[in-house]
Structure 1
Amino acid sequence: MSFNLNNNRNIQRKSKWLLFAVPFILSFSGCKKLFEVPGEKEYISNKISYGTKFFEPILGRTTLMGSFNADNSTQPLTFSIVNARYGDGRPITDFYKTKEVWVWTGAYDGKEKTLEEINSKRKKELRPLLEVRASGQLILWSSATDDLIPARKTDSTNLLQDRRYFDVKVSNIGGEVIIKDLEFRLWRERPYEPSNDFNPYTGKIAITPADFLDPINKLNYIRPSRISNIIGKSTRKELVSNDVVVSIRPFSGGNGHSLRFRFLDKNAVVINPAKFNETKWDQLVHGFNRQTTDEYVQYDVAYPIPLINIPTSYASGGRANVNFSYSRLGFGGIRQVGSIGLDFSIYREGDWEIVFQFRNDNPKFEDE
């Protein structure tokens, strides 16, 4: 009998709780409908910006520029270049010109075995000379060359009417913001590096800054990046970088995508590349179909060199690295290894040769 009484009391308590709770639940549901929280709204910040608004790219090289800060704006964002103009207000149209350029479609790693394998990982596309990527970065393509876009004036006065400005429009569903007054001061093409022998204002041969009136050594030169243990034939002294000049220049008669290496003595007489008997010719550059003659060694290559800025067996630090070496028996029958090398880049497609000329003394290749 006590069991039934307790059950009745429990049922009564539950009934009272339900009578209290049901109106509250119904009321809360009604409030939710009445005061429903809206979904997240698209947001674009008025503080979006670039780390700098001033850029000095070199024409003829694919260059990424600009660190973009979205300031928590809702992604994705859409970018476009607008109001390109000179400092005096004249419109600029050459940024919008289109030209074919190589665009990567696969991952290059430096292990490709043929030129065809390299080119299977990229294709030519028609692109505006200047674009904004989905990340907000600006990209000036290598197709932007001297013949399509004029560089800064020779006298480098940078007059207002010669300065190039543009704005970047950034938008999403929430609205748009204009980042104003980005500025380009463009350097003319320098098709290779090092470019010590190249005047960046005129495109002509550079004069030695130290002495403009020196009738003998008036030109500036590229020097080897390294030279070691090469003994002069006449002086019997170890040669240094100032004893060698390097030229990077186009040559005629190639196939449009070749690279050639030559060596000259102090009288401009050709040195047979076979003299550099310790050189690993098959590992020198990422090239193919090697041709070896008494005057040069030549490869089929893909341009630019290096193709991208990643470390490979042939490149580091954004430059291709070549080393030429030879061995000879020195005094006491000790084998000596001499070497000379260059870190370089070539940006323009074509047929190029790199020439090392010994100026003050010739290397001694013979044994003692």
Structure 2
Amino acid sequence: MKFQFDKQMIKALKYKPLILSLVLLSSVAAALTGCKKIFDLPEEKEFLSNKINYGNKVFEPVLGRTSLMGNLNTDNSTVPLKFEIVNARYGDGRPYNDIFQVQKTYVWTAPYDGLETSLAQIEAKRKLEDHPMFEVRSSGQFIMWQSSTNDLIAPRPADSSNLEQDKRLFDLKITNVGGEIILKNFQIRPWRERLYEPSTDINPYTGKTARDPNDPKNPNKRDYITPGFNNVIGVETNRGLVNDATRKDLVVYIRPFTGGTGNSLRFKFLGKDSLPINPVFFNETKWDFIVHGFNKVMTPQYVQYDVAYPIPVINLGTKYAPSGSQARSIFSYSRRGFGGTMTTANIELNYNIFKKGDWEIVFHFRRENPKFQDE
């Protein structure tokens, strides 16, 4: 059998291939429809799997921080799904509702990118909204908002016990057009607030000063936050300062101060006598990139900035927070060592501050001061 095409057909195929494509698609669709009728295939229906679940059902957020939790496996259930927290109860059956109190919390209305040139530019990109302090999102993730506090939500017991009557349980109702399922016995165990990280100087159960891990029964000894550093030479011993398991030559305090703007962050250096060290001695420090801050004020006692809280404001890698999850500040100075060789000393801290206010980060040289002079 031979096919013959007249000139008009050839011209149509040459210049209008879309016509042929549409014809073929229509034919395929008709064939599929015919198959469905011939083989009596069922209509597609909404599906809600009874195997839908979470990888982990015990959540341990720290109050005062925005925490996302929960890894949902839908097992190919039809989306969208609706989620509702139900039957919130203690282990002995008593109901609780404190974590569902509605509080104002910041939500972003425009993307933060770390290039903002004023505090006002950052604040213009977010607004306060009313949200329960703990809720489930449309994605199935759970969120504990930064608005949660020790005063509003009772954290886990200070004696570290986990008695049945203290356990917070809840169930989760999941629905779609295909049906409803209830996942039971989620547990939430909130830690009390720790307003900054690192928080090695805080006992997470009591919120009080942490004791020295090498002598935990001694109330007169404490643990510290320790920064990273290199090439820091002591002015008296002419030897490198040391931080290890038994010796802490340079420690950090993160603490509030009075007299700021309400959005202030100070950096301060103290010698072994607890007197201020002038920041100008840190002569290689790039002060404009220490933190995403504005209106820098430099005095012989400290360097201060206006900043947006929390620090960092979101989990995003920027020049101020390369990891995204923590801000990083590096303080440097150079000096000539023996033989005239120029050496640079660095002190580095990766950190978070979660609560808005006036905060200072203090670097304390406990045993001897750093040597800034040339040899």
**Global fold match (TM > 0.5):** yes
Q: Which residue of 1 aligns with 2:278?
A: 272
Aligned-residue offset at 1:40: 2.0
Please report how far the alpha carbon of residue 37 of structure 1 lies from its aligned counterpart in structure 2 after TM superposition: 5.9
Change in Cα spacing, 1:215 to 1:151, as seen in structure 2 (3 Å) is closer
Query: Are 1:234 and 2:240 an aligned pair?
Result: no
Per the alignment, residue 86 of structure 1 pairs with: 90
Write the deviation string for residues 240-270 of structure 1: whole angstroms up to 9, x where unpaired: 2321110000111111111100000000010
Query: What secondary structure, in the 3-state scheme, does the structure 2 residue paired with 1:316 have?
Result: coil
Aligned letter for 1:364?
A: K
In the alignment, is the contact (CA less than 8 A) between 1:228 and 1:240 conserved in 2? no
Aligned to 1:327: 334
**Structure with max Cα Rg:** 1
1:293 equivalent in structure 2: 299
Measure how far apart 1:215 and its partner are: 7.2
Cα offset, 1:157, TM superposition = 1.4
What letter is aligned with 2:166?
Answer: D
TM (norm. structure 1) is 0.88
Task: Say if 1:291 and 1:299, in contact at 8 Å, map to a contact too.
Answer: yes
* 3-state SS, counterpart of residue 44 of structure 2: coil
Q: Paired residue for 1:259? A: 265
Say whether 1:68 aligns with 2:72: yes
Correspondent of 1:115 among 116, 119, 123: 119
Partner in structure 1 of residue 193 of structure 2: 189
2:346 corresponds in structure 1 to 339
Letter matched to residue 241 of structure 2: L
Contact 2:211 2:218 in 1 (8 A): no
Q: 1:166 and 2:170 equivalent?
A: yes
Q: What value does the CA root-mean-square deviation take over the aligned residues?
A: 1.9
Q: Residue 363 of structure 2: SS of its match in structure 1?
A: strand
Tell me the secondary structure at the aligned position of residue 161 of structure 1. helix
2:137 alignment counterpart: 133
Paired position in structure 2 for 1:351: 358
C-alpha deviation, 1:208, in angstroms: 0.8
Aligned partners of 2:143, 2:349: CA distance in 1, in Å?
29
Out of 223, 234, 237, the position equivalent to 2:226 is: 223
User: Counterparts of 1:250 and 1:39 in 2: how far apart (Å)?
Assistant: 64
Looking at structure 2, the residues matched to 173 and 274 of structure 1 have their Cα atoms a distance apart, in angstroms, of: 66
DSSP 3-state at the match of 1:357: strand
Structure 1 residues 182 and 198, CA gap change in structure 2 (3 angstroms): same
1:8 aligns with none
Q: Distance in 2 between matches of 1:209 and 1:137?
A: 36
**Matched-pair contact (CA < 8 Å) for 2:211–2:219:** no
Identity of aligned residues (%): 58
Matched, 1:366 2:360: no
Residue identity matched to 1:97: Q
Per-residue deviation, residues 55-114 of structure 1 (Å, max 9, x unmatched): 111111100101001111111011111111100111111122010111112211211111
Task: Measure the CA separation in 2 of the matches of 1:97 and 1:251.
Answer: 30
Instruction: Tell me, in whole angstroms, the C-alpha distance in 1 between the residues paired with 2:334 and 2:36.
Output: 87
C-alpha distance after superposition, 1:156-213 (max 9, x if no partner): 1111000000111111112111111000111111110111110111111111121135
Matched residue type, 1:202: T
State yes or no: 1:306 paired with 2:312.
yes
Residue 4 of structure 2: aligned partner: none
Q: By how many angstroms is 1:239 displaced?
A: 1.1
Question: Is the contact made by 1:247 and 1:354 (CA closer than 8 Å) also made in structure 2?
Answer: yes
Q: Which amino acid aligns with 2:236?
A: S
* Letter in structure 1 aligned against 2:349: L
CA distance in 1 between counterparts of 2:216 and 2:210 reads: 10
The letter for the 2-side match of 1:219 is R
Aligned equivalent of 2:30: none
Structure 2 counterpart of 1:45, one-letter code: S
Give yes or no for the alignment of 1:153 onto 2:153: no
Shift of 1:39: 3.8
- 1:77 maps to a residue whose letter is L
1:98 aligns with 2:102: yes
Distance 1:297 1:32, change over 3 A: closer
Contact map agreement 1:77 1:172 (CA 8 A) in 2: yes
Distance in 1 (CA, whole Å) between partners of 2:198 and 2:39 is 68
CA contact (8 A) 1:44 1:175 kept: yes
Shift of 1:316: 3.1
Assess if the C-alpha contact under 8 Å between 2:47 and 2:77 holds in 1: yes
